Structure 1
Amino acid sequence: MENLDIAIERITKSNYHMFDDMVYWRTNGCERTGEEKDKNKDIIFEDAFSELDHQGFYVFAARYEGRFVGWIMLIYIPKLGKWNKGVIFVEELWTAPEFRRKGIAMKLMEKAFEVQYETGAIKVRLYTDNMSAQKLYEKCGLRVANEAVFMESKDN
């Protein structure tokens, strides 16, 4: 496995345009052109900025050579009762296909454990049906704790 010189950055209003470029890359299978990226810098992403302001919501991206090539979204979920401390839930982790198996996802997962420590959360949790991803998560110290059915409401 080749390890690249990657910096992990929290997504904020000031770098969100680069994150949006990466989402475009994931959605369309190709990166925006330089001209499209320049135009994207001038957009004010009010809805996204509002989401970034939610307490307990964390988004980090892996920067390589001036662009983001992967991200992780984390949520602190409070717990009561016997736990009295919450958990960090990995909502999503993605790495650009040509950057997979280069240590980026591991560095993003390390960030999840840092947030766990900083918040005092008792665990890091996630759901996956991707067997390759499951192997990565096991290398990070997670284990299969249960099998579950994923359910969600219908789109409006």
Structure 2
Amino acid sequence: MSTPAILVLCTGNSCRSHMAEGILRDKLGSGFRIESAGSRPAGYVHPLAIRALSEIGIDISGNRSKHLDEFLGDDIETVITVCGNADQVCPMFPGQVNRHHFPFDDPAHAEGGEEEQMVMFRRVRDEIQAVFGAYAAGRSDALKTR
């Protein structure tokens, strides 16, 4: 049996999807393949997203911004969109079993100085952690009952 692949999508693949990827990877461990991508990737992972996750002990500094097309040939079991635009443009993946939409504000649009921006990054991180933590717990429970 292959490792289930979960793909988290947003538009820019610079903040929300990377935070969700890091949190899911942390919560689910090695039993799942977790990836993130964007419909119009920014080409970088936002430094404040990296910082926000490092504050909770998760390192995404090695992540890179990717286009969703990189995964079209992969066996993706679940697609989770974290913004409305990605939800609208999300293609069907061969073999895809599940699709979820959990929208979050985009912290890349936060205004002010770095510390003011970090307030929004932390809020969105905490919201993602709550939603994806619950999702991961449900997936883990389902595996235990098999």
Query: Could you say which TM-score interval applies, normalised by the shorter chain?
Result: under 0.3
Q: Whose radius of gyration is greater, 1 or 2?
A: 1
TM-score by length of 1: 0.26
Q: Which structure carries more relative contact order (alpha carbon 8 Å, separation 6+)?
A: 2
Q: Judging by fraction of residues, say which structure has more strand.
A: 1
